[in-house]
Amino acid sequence: MKYFLLIAFFICCFIQSFSQNKNSLNQLIEQIESKVIEWRRDFHQNPELSNREFKTAEKIAAHLRSLGIEVTTNIAHTGVKGILKGGKPGPIVGLRADMDALPVTERVEIPFASKTKSTYLGEDVGVMHACGHDTHMAILMGVAEVLSKVKDDLKGTIVFIFQPAEEGAPPGEEGGAKLMVKEGIMNNPKIDVVFGLHISSGLEVGKILYKPGGTMAAADRFTIKVKGKQTHGSRPWSGIDPITVSAQIILGLQTIISRQTELTNEAAVITVGKISGGVRNNIIPEECEMIGTIRTLDIRMQKDIHEKIIRTATNIAEASGASAEVDIQIGYPVTYNDPELTRKMIPTLFATAGEDNVRVSKAITGAEDFSYYAMEVPGLFFFLGGKPKDVSALDAAPHHTPDFYIDESGLLLGVKSLTNLALDYMEQHSE
Protein backbone atom coordinates (compact mmCIF):
# COMPACT_ATOMS: atom_id res chain seq x y z
CA MET A 1 0.00 0.00 0.00
CA LYS A 2 2.83 2.39 0.88
CA TYR A 3 4.50 1.52 -2.42
CA PHE A 4 1.29 2.32 -4.29
CA LEU A 5 0.91 5.63 -2.47
CA LEU A 6 4.51 6.54 -3.28
CA ILE A 7 3.96 5.90 -6.98
CA ALA A 8 0.76 7.91 -6.89
CA PHE A 9 2.59 10.75 -5.18
CA PHE A 10 5.28 10.87 -7.87
CA ILE A 11 2.67 10.73 -10.65
CA CYS A 12 0.79 13.64 -9.08
CA CYS A 13 4.03 15.63 -8.79
CA PHE A 14 4.85 14.92 -12.42
CA ILE A 15 1.38 15.96 -13.60
CA GLN A 16 1.52 19.12 -11.52
CA SER A 17 5.01 19.97 -12.81
CA PHE A 18 3.97 19.26 -16.41
CA SER A 19 0.89 21.45 -16.04
CA GLN A 20 2.94 24.28 -14.53
CA ASN A 21 5.47 24.06 -17.37
CA LYS A 22 2.70 24.18 -19.97
CA ASN A 23 1.08 27.17 -18.29
CA SER A 24 4.43 28.95 -18.07
CA LEU A 25 5.08 28.26 -21.76
CA ASN A 26 1.65 29.53 -22.78
CA GLN A 27 2.30 32.72 -20.83
CA LEU A 28 5.58 33.23 -22.69
CA ILE A 29 3.81 32.74 -26.03
CA GLU A 30 0.94 35.07 -25.21
CA GLN A 31 3.34 37.78 -24.05
CA ILE A 32 5.04 37.79 -27.43
CA GLU A 33 1.90 38.33 -29.56
CA SER A 34 2.39 42.09 -29.91
CA LYS A 35 5.98 41.55 -31.09
CA VAL A 36 4.88 39.00 -33.69
CA ILE A 37 2.30 41.43 -35.07
CA GLU A 38 4.87 44.25 -35.11
CA TRP A 39 7.38 42.09 -37.02
CA ARG A 40 4.70 41.00 -39.46
CA ARG A 41 3.70 44.58 -40.22
CA ASP A 42 7.31 45.62 -40.75
CA PHE A 43 7.87 42.77 -43.22
CA HIS A 44 4.57 43.53 -44.93
CA GLN A 45 5.43 47.19 -45.39
CA ASN A 46 8.92 46.38 -46.71
CA PRO A 47 8.57 43.34 -49.01
CA GLU A 48 11.33 42.00 -51.22
CA LEU A 49 11.16 39.74 -54.27
CA SER A 50 12.63 36.24 -54.59
CA ASN A 51 16.42 36.01 -54.15
CA ARG A 52 16.43 39.73 -53.26
CA GLU A 53 15.41 39.46 -49.58
CA PHE A 54 18.52 41.30 -48.35
CA LYS A 55 17.01 43.61 -45.72
CA THR A 56 14.54 40.93 -44.67
CA ALA A 57 17.42 38.53 -43.99
CA GLU A 58 19.30 41.17 -42.00
CA LYS A 59 16.30 41.73 -39.70
CA ILE A 60 15.85 38.02 -39.11
CA ALA A 61 19.56 37.36 -38.48
CA ALA A 62 19.78 40.29 -36.04
CA HIS A 63 16.79 38.99 -34.08
CA LEU A 64 18.16 35.45 -33.84
CA ARG A 65 21.58 36.72 -32.72
CA SER A 66 19.94 38.83 -30.04
CA LEU A 67 18.50 35.59 -28.61
CA GLY A 68 21.92 33.92 -28.44
CA ILE A 69 21.10 31.65 -31.39
CA GLU A 70 23.96 30.56 -33.67
CA VAL A 71 23.32 32.18 -37.07
CA THR A 72 24.50 31.42 -40.61
CA THR A 73 23.53 33.75 -43.45
CA ASN A 74 23.77 33.86 -47.26
CA ILE A 75 22.48 30.32 -47.72
CA ALA A 76 20.86 29.98 -51.15
CA HIS A 77 21.62 33.69 -51.66
CA THR A 78 19.69 35.29 -48.78
CA GLY A 79 18.62 32.39 -46.57
CA VAL A 80 19.17 32.41 -42.81
CA LYS A 81 19.82 29.41 -40.56
CA GLY A 82 19.57 29.55 -36.78
CA ILE A 83 20.69 26.78 -34.43
CA LEU A 84 19.38 26.63 -30.86
CA LYS A 85 21.05 23.90 -28.82
CA GLY A 86 19.04 22.64 -25.89
CA GLY A 87 20.42 21.79 -22.48
CA LYS A 88 19.58 18.10 -22.83
CA PRO A 89 20.25 15.47 -25.52
CA GLY A 90 17.59 14.71 -28.07
CA PRO A 91 16.55 14.95 -31.73
CA ILE A 92 17.20 17.79 -34.14
CA VAL A 93 14.01 19.50 -35.28
CA GLY A 94 13.79 21.79 -38.32
CA LEU A 95 11.24 24.62 -38.43
CA ARG A 96 10.84 26.50 -41.70
CA ALA A 97 9.43 29.85 -42.87
CA ASP A 98 9.62 31.42 -46.34
CA MET A 99 10.68 35.03 -46.93
CA ASP A 100 9.85 36.32 -50.42
CA ALA A 101 7.08 38.58 -51.67
CA LEU A 102 5.35 38.78 -55.06
CA PRO A 103 5.19 41.26 -57.97
CA VAL A 104 1.69 42.40 -56.96
CA THR A 105 0.51 45.95 -56.29
CA GLU A 106 -1.41 46.08 -53.00
CA ARG A 107 -4.98 47.41 -52.89
CA VAL A 108 -5.77 46.69 -49.24
CA GLU A 109 -6.35 49.85 -47.19
CA ILE A 110 -4.27 49.21 -44.07
CA PRO A 111 -1.79 51.56 -42.34
CA PHE A 112 1.14 49.26 -43.15
CA ALA A 113 0.23 48.59 -46.79
CA SER A 114 3.17 48.08 -49.13
CA LYS A 115 4.17 51.00 -51.34
CA THR A 116 7.30 49.22 -52.56
CA LYS A 117 8.16 49.25 -56.26
CA SER A 118 10.66 47.08 -58.09
CA THR A 119 11.46 45.51 -61.45
CA TYR A 120 10.38 41.99 -62.42
CA LEU A 121 11.19 40.43 -65.80
CA GLY A 122 12.04 43.89 -67.12
CA GLU A 123 8.75 45.46 -66.01
CA ASP A 124 8.10 47.99 -63.25
CA VAL A 125 5.91 46.32 -60.63
CA GLY A 126 4.51 46.81 -57.17
CA VAL A 127 5.73 44.38 -54.53
CA MET A 128 3.47 42.80 -51.90
CA HIS A 129 3.42 39.96 -49.42
CA ALA A 130 0.36 38.57 -51.19
CA CYS A 131 0.81 35.01 -49.95
CA GLY A 132 1.42 35.50 -46.24
CA HIS A 133 5.15 34.88 -46.07
CA ASP A 134 5.39 37.94 -43.83
CA THR A 135 3.26 36.12 -41.26
CA HIS A 136 5.35 32.95 -41.57
CA MET A 137 8.56 34.83 -40.76
CA ALA A 138 7.01 36.68 -37.83
CA ILE A 139 5.57 33.46 -36.41
CA LEU A 140 8.91 31.64 -36.60
CA MET A 141 10.73 34.60 -35.05
CA GLY A 142 8.24 34.37 -32.21
CA VAL A 143 8.86 30.63 -31.85
CA ALA A 144 12.62 31.31 -31.74
CA GLU A 145 12.21 33.85 -28.94
CA VAL A 146 9.96 31.58 -26.89
CA LEU A 147 12.19 28.51 -27.25
CA SER A 148 15.34 30.50 -26.53
CA LYS A 149 13.88 31.34 -23.11
CA VAL A 150 13.54 27.64 -22.24
CA LYS A 151 16.64 26.31 -24.01
CA ASP A 152 18.08 24.74 -20.87
CA ASP A 153 15.04 22.45 -20.76
CA LEU A 154 15.05 21.62 -24.48
CA LYS A 155 15.64 17.94 -25.15
CA GLY A 156 17.47 18.38 -28.44
CA THR A 157 18.27 21.08 -30.96
CA ILE A 158 16.10 23.40 -33.06
CA VAL A 159 17.17 24.50 -36.54
CA PHE A 160 15.32 27.59 -37.74
CA ILE A 161 15.15 27.75 -41.54
CA PHE A 162 14.28 31.11 -43.10
CA GLN A 163 14.11 30.39 -46.81
CA PRO A 164 14.16 32.76 -49.79
CA ALA A 165 12.49 32.33 -53.19
CA GLU A 166 9.66 29.96 -52.34
CA GLU A 167 7.71 31.58 -55.17
CA GLY A 168 10.47 30.59 -57.57
CA ALA A 169 13.84 32.06 -58.40
CA PRO A 170 14.09 34.61 -61.24
CA PRO A 171 14.80 33.08 -64.67
CA GLY A 172 18.41 31.95 -64.96
CA GLU A 173 18.90 31.71 -61.19
CA GLU A 174 18.76 28.88 -58.68
CA GLY A 175 16.93 29.38 -55.42
CA GLY A 176 14.40 28.29 -52.87
CA ALA A 177 14.28 25.09 -50.83
CA LYS A 178 16.00 23.06 -53.54
CA LEU A 179 19.09 25.26 -53.33
CA MET A 180 18.90 25.36 -49.53
CA VAL A 181 19.04 21.56 -49.47
CA LYS A 182 21.79 21.53 -52.09
CA GLU A 183 23.87 23.87 -49.93
CA GLY A 184 23.50 21.65 -46.88
CA ILE A 185 20.71 23.18 -44.78
CA MET A 186 19.66 19.71 -43.60
CA ASN A 187 23.15 18.90 -42.28
CA ASN A 188 25.50 20.29 -39.63
CA PRO A 189 23.57 19.40 -37.55
CA LYS A 190 21.66 16.68 -39.38
CA ILE A 191 17.95 17.42 -39.10
CA ASP A 192 15.73 14.48 -38.10
CA VAL A 193 12.30 15.95 -38.82
CA VAL A 194 10.88 19.17 -40.28
CA PHE A 195 7.69 21.14 -39.61
CA GLY A 196 6.18 24.04 -41.53
CA LEU A 197 2.93 25.94 -41.90
CA HIS A 198 1.14 28.16 -44.39
CA ILE A 199 -1.36 30.87 -43.54
CA SER A 200 -4.65 30.68 -45.46
CA SER A 201 -6.78 33.70 -46.31
CA GLY A 202 -9.79 31.42 -46.87
CA LEU A 203 -9.57 29.47 -43.60
CA GLU A 204 -11.10 31.02 -40.47
CA VAL A 205 -8.74 32.16 -37.72
CA GLY A 206 -8.34 29.56 -35.00
CA LYS A 207 -8.60 26.68 -37.47
CA ILE A 208 -5.95 24.25 -38.73
CA LEU A 209 -6.09 21.97 -41.78
CA TYR A 210 -3.80 19.03 -42.51
CA LYS A 211 -3.67 15.96 -44.74
CA PRO A 212 -1.53 12.83 -44.39
CA GLY A 213 0.37 11.84 -47.53
CA GLY A 214 0.28 14.05 -50.63
CA THR A 215 -1.10 17.39 -49.50
CA MET A 216 0.06 19.85 -52.20
CA ALA A 217 0.73 19.26 -55.87
CA ALA A 218 3.86 18.89 -57.93
CA ALA A 219 4.18 21.96 -60.17
CA ASP A 220 5.82 21.61 -63.58
CA ARG A 221 6.19 24.23 -66.31
CA PHE A 222 5.71 23.57 -70.01
CA THR A 223 6.46 25.50 -73.18
CA ILE A 224 4.99 24.56 -76.56
CA LYS A 225 6.33 26.23 -79.72
CA VAL A 226 4.15 25.70 -82.78
CA LYS A 227 5.88 26.33 -86.11
CA GLY A 228 3.84 26.93 -89.22
CA LYS A 229 4.33 28.86 -92.46
CA GLN A 230 3.98 32.62 -92.62
CA THR A 231 1.63 34.16 -95.14
CA HIS A 232 -0.70 37.08 -95.82
CA GLY A 233 -3.74 37.19 -93.53
CA SER A 234 -6.03 37.31 -96.58
CA ARG A 235 -4.61 34.02 -97.97
CA PRO A 236 -4.50 31.50 -95.08
CA TRP A 237 -4.52 28.57 -97.54
CA SER A 238 -1.08 29.59 -98.80
CA GLY A 239 0.50 29.10 -95.37
CA ILE A 240 0.10 27.12 -92.15
CA ASP A 241 -1.51 29.07 -89.31
CA PRO A 242 0.28 28.32 -85.99
CA ILE A 243 -2.24 30.37 -84.00
CA THR A 244 -5.18 28.21 -85.09
CA VAL A 245 -3.12 25.09 -84.43
CA SER A 246 -2.24 26.43 -80.97
CA ALA A 247 -5.92 26.96 -80.22
CA GLN A 248 -6.61 23.34 -81.13
CA ILE A 249 -3.74 22.18 -78.94
CA ILE A 250 -5.07 24.16 -75.96
CA LEU A 251 -8.45 22.42 -76.29
CA GLY A 252 -6.71 19.08 -76.76
CA LEU A 253 -4.71 19.55 -73.57
CA GLN A 254 -7.92 19.94 -71.58
CA THR A 255 -9.22 16.58 -72.80
CA ILE A 256 -6.13 14.98 -71.25
CA ILE A 257 -7.60 15.94 -67.88
CA SER A 258 -11.30 15.53 -68.61
CA ARG A 259 -11.15 12.31 -70.68
CA GLN A 260 -7.76 10.60 -70.22
CA THR A 261 -6.89 11.03 -66.53
CA GLU A 262 -8.26 8.95 -63.66
CA LEU A 263 -9.39 11.83 -61.48
CA THR A 264 -10.89 9.49 -58.89
CA ASN A 265 -7.28 8.66 -58.00
CA GLU A 266 -5.99 12.24 -57.53
CA ALA A 267 -6.72 15.68 -58.92
CA ALA A 268 -4.71 17.10 -61.81
CA VAL A 269 -4.63 20.40 -63.72
CA ILE A 270 -3.19 21.62 -67.03
CA THR A 271 -3.36 25.39 -67.50
CA VAL A 272 -2.08 27.47 -70.40
CA GLY A 273 -1.22 30.80 -68.81
CA LYS A 274 0.16 32.70 -71.80
CA ILE A 275 0.03 32.49 -75.57
CA SER A 276 1.88 34.79 -77.94
CA GLY A 277 2.37 34.98 -81.69
CA GLY A 278 2.22 37.44 -84.54
CA VAL A 279 2.88 41.15 -84.95
CA ARG A 280 0.12 42.47 -87.26
CA ASN A 281 -3.56 41.91 -87.88
CA ASN A 282 -3.00 40.92 -91.51
CA ILE A 283 -0.02 38.59 -91.14
CA ILE A 284 -0.29 34.93 -90.23
CA PRO A 285 2.97 34.41 -88.31
CA GLU A 286 5.50 31.65 -88.64
CA GLU A 287 5.50 30.71 -84.96
CA CYS A 288 3.28 30.78 -81.89
CA GLU A 289 4.31 29.97 -78.32
CA MET A 290 2.33 29.01 -75.25
CA ILE A 291 3.45 28.43 -71.69
CA GLY A 292 1.60 26.85 -68.81
CA THR A 293 1.62 24.81 -65.63
CA ILE A 294 0.94 21.16 -64.79
CA ARG A 295 -0.27 20.22 -61.29
CA THR A 296 -0.28 16.58 -60.16
CA LEU A 297 -0.48 14.76 -56.83
CA ASP A 298 0.72 11.34 -57.96
CA ILE A 299 4.11 10.46 -59.51
CA ARG A 300 2.66 7.91 -61.93
CA MET A 301 -0.02 10.35 -63.09
CA GLN A 302 2.60 13.07 -63.43
CA LYS A 303 4.67 10.98 -65.84
CA ASP A 304 1.59 9.87 -67.79
CA ILE A 305 0.28 13.43 -68.22
CA HIS A 306 3.70 14.64 -69.40
CA GLU A 307 3.73 11.96 -72.10
CA LYS A 308 0.19 12.80 -73.19
CA ILE A 309 0.98 16.52 -73.46
CA ILE A 310 3.86 15.76 -75.82
CA ARG A 311 1.78 13.32 -77.87
CA THR A 312 -1.28 15.59 -78.06
CA ALA A 313 0.64 18.71 -79.08
CA THR A 314 2.83 17.05 -81.69
CA ASN A 315 0.02 15.02 -83.28
CA ILE A 316 -2.40 17.97 -83.52
CA ALA A 317 0.32 20.10 -85.07
CA GLU A 318 1.29 17.40 -87.59
CA ALA A 319 -2.35 16.91 -88.56
CA SER A 320 -2.35 20.54 -89.79
CA GLY A 321 1.05 20.40 -91.45
CA ALA A 322 2.73 22.29 -88.60
CA SER A 323 5.21 21.08 -86.00
CA ALA A 324 5.28 21.44 -82.22
CA GLU A 325 8.24 21.50 -79.88
CA VAL A 326 7.32 20.64 -76.28
CA ASP A 327 9.61 21.40 -73.36
CA ILE A 328 8.54 20.31 -69.85
CA GLN A 329 10.55 21.61 -66.91
CA ILE A 330 10.18 19.63 -63.70
CA GLY A 331 9.33 21.93 -60.81
CA TYR A 332 8.40 21.40 -57.18
CA PRO A 333 7.69 17.79 -56.14
CA VAL A 334 4.54 16.75 -54.33
CA THR A 335 4.46 18.13 -50.78
CA TYR A 336 4.19 14.92 -48.77
CA ASN A 337 3.25 14.64 -45.10
CA ASP A 338 4.82 11.54 -43.62
CA PRO A 339 1.79 9.47 -42.46
CA GLU A 340 3.43 8.07 -39.33
CA LEU A 341 4.79 11.45 -38.24
CA THR A 342 1.39 13.03 -38.92
CA ARG A 343 -0.37 10.36 -36.85
CA LYS A 344 1.95 10.95 -33.91
CA MET A 345 1.77 14.76 -33.98
CA ILE A 346 -1.94 15.38 -34.61
CA PRO A 347 -2.67 15.03 -30.87
CA THR A 348 -0.36 18.03 -30.39
CA LEU A 349 -2.42 20.11 -32.82
CA PHE A 350 -5.63 18.92 -31.14
CA ALA A 351 -4.31 19.99 -27.75
CA THR A 352 -3.09 23.34 -29.12
CA ALA A 353 -6.07 24.46 -31.20
CA GLY A 354 -8.87 22.29 -29.82
CA GLU A 355 -9.94 19.09 -31.54
CA ASP A 356 -12.99 20.76 -33.12
CA ASN A 357 -10.71 23.31 -34.80
CA VAL A 358 -8.40 20.79 -36.49
CA ARG A 359 -9.66 19.10 -39.64
CA VAL A 360 -8.37 16.85 -42.39
CA SER A 361 -8.32 18.63 -45.74
CA LYS A 362 -8.46 17.44 -49.29
CA ALA A 363 -5.35 17.71 -51.43
CA ILE A 364 -4.56 21.14 -52.83
CA THR A 365 -3.39 21.78 -56.40
CA GLY A 366 -1.23 24.67 -55.24
CA ALA A 367 2.46 23.84 -54.82
CA GLU A 368 5.05 24.42 -52.09
CA ASP A 369 8.79 23.85 -52.15
CA PHE A 370 8.66 22.66 -48.52
CA SER A 371 8.45 19.40 -50.48
CA TYR A 372 12.25 19.37 -50.90
CA TYR A 373 12.81 19.22 -47.13
CA ALA A 374 10.17 16.50 -46.76
CA MET A 375 12.01 14.43 -49.38
CA GLU A 376 15.07 14.41 -47.11
CA VAL A 377 13.41 13.67 -43.72
CA PRO A 378 9.87 13.06 -42.44
CA GLY A 379 7.89 16.29 -42.64
CA LEU A 380 4.56 17.75 -41.59
CA PHE A 381 3.11 20.82 -43.32
CA PHE A 382 -0.24 22.27 -42.28
CA PHE A 383 -2.49 25.26 -42.93
CA LEU A 384 -3.27 27.99 -40.41
CA GLY A 385 -6.44 30.08 -40.50
CA GLY A 386 -6.08 33.76 -41.39
CA LYS A 387 -9.62 34.71 -42.49
CA PRO A 388 -11.62 37.08 -40.28
CA LYS A 389 -14.60 35.32 -38.69
CA ASP A 390 -17.07 37.85 -40.09
CA VAL A 391 -15.97 37.28 -43.70
CA SER A 392 -17.28 34.33 -45.72
CA ALA A 393 -14.80 32.05 -47.45
CA LEU A 394 -16.36 33.05 -50.80
CA ASP A 395 -15.64 36.72 -50.15
CA ALA A 396 -12.07 36.25 -48.90
CA ALA A 397 -9.51 37.43 -51.46
CA PRO A 398 -7.35 34.58 -52.79
CA HIS A 399 -3.61 34.38 -52.36
CA HIS A 400 -1.47 36.14 -55.02
CA THR A 401 -4.03 38.92 -55.50
CA PRO A 402 -3.92 42.67 -54.70
CA ASP A 403 -6.71 42.32 -52.10
CA PHE A 404 -5.12 39.48 -50.12
CA TYR A 405 -5.73 40.06 -46.42
CA ILE A 406 -4.82 38.25 -43.19
CA ASP A 407 -6.41 38.67 -39.76
CA GLU A 408 -3.47 38.99 -37.37
CA SER A 409 -5.40 37.47 -34.46
CA GLY A 410 -4.60 34.07 -35.97
CA LEU A 411 -0.82 34.44 -35.70
CA LEU A 412 -0.58 33.42 -32.05
CA LEU A 413 -1.98 29.96 -32.86
CA GLY A 414 0.85 29.60 -35.40
CA VAL A 415 3.44 30.33 -32.72
CA LYS A 416 1.80 27.88 -30.32
CA SER A 417 1.50 25.15 -32.95
CA LEU A 418 5.12 25.18 -34.12
CA THR A 419 6.40 25.54 -30.56
CA ASN A 420 4.35 22.63 -29.27
CA LEU A 421 5.14 20.41 -32.26
CA ALA A 422 8.86 20.91 -31.66
CA LEU A 423 8.65 20.34 -27.91
CA ASP A 424 6.35 17.33 -28.11
CA TYR A 425 8.44 15.66 -30.80
CA MET A 426 11.54 16.18 -28.66
CA GLU A 427 9.75 14.72 -25.65
CA GLN A 428 8.71 11.66 -27.64
CA HIS A 429 12.17 11.02 -29.08
CA SER A 430 14.57 12.16 -26.37
CA GLU A 431 17.07 9.71 -24.90
Of the candidates 93, 186, 19, the residue with the CA atom closest to the CA atom of residue 427: 93
Residue 95 shares a structural domain with residue 122? yes
Has residue 15 been placed in a domain?
no
Catalytic residue among 166, 167, 220, 298: 166
Residue 164 shares a structural domain with residue 278? no
In DSSP notation, 263-305 reads: TTT--EEEEEEEEEE-SSTTEE-SEEEEEEEEEES-HHHHHHH
91-147 pLDDT per residue, tens: 999 999 999 999 999 999 999 999 999 999 899 999 999 999 999 999 999 999 999
Residue 81 shares a structural domain with residue 203? yes
d(Cα 101, Cα 109) in Å, to the nearest integer? 18
Average pLDDT, stretch 329-346? Answer: 96
Average pLDDT, stretch 165-182? Answer: 96
Residue 340 shares a structural domain with residue 407? yes
387-397 pLDDT per residue, tens: 999 999 999 99
Has residue 14 been placed in a domain?
no
Has residue 419 been placed in a domain?
yes
Confidence of residue 24 (pLDDT cuts 50, 70, 90): confident
Catalytic residue among 100, 134, 241, 338: 100
d(Cα 67, Cα 281) in Å, to the nearest integer? 64
Of the candidates 236, 234, 183, the residue with the CA atom closest to the CA atom of residue 73: 183
Told to judge if 325 belongs to the known catalytic residues of this protein, a careful annotator would answer no
Residue 190 shares a structural domain with residue 82? yes
Cβ atoms of residues 88 and 205 within 8 Å: no
Residue 56 shares a structural domain with residue 200? yes
Has residue 3 been placed in a domain?
no
* Model pTM above 0.85: yes
pLDDT at site 138: 98
CA atoms within 13 A on the CB side of 371: 19
Name the H helices within 320-387: 339-353, 371-376
d(Cα 179, Cα 217) in Å, to the nearest integer? 19
pLDDT beyond 70 at 8: no
Q: How many domains does the chain have?
A: 2
Domain-terminating residue out of 299, 332, 365:
332
CATH classification of the domain holding 320: 3.30.70.360
Structural domain boundaries enclosing 239: 218-332
Domain-terminating residue out of 297, 332, 367:
332
242-251 pLDDT per residue, tens: 999 999 999 9
Residue 154 shares a structural domain with residue 224? no
Confidence of residue 15 (pLDDT cuts 50, 70, 90): very low
Told to judge if 166 belongs to the known catalytic residues of this protein, a careful annotator would answer yes
Cα–chain center distance at 221: 17
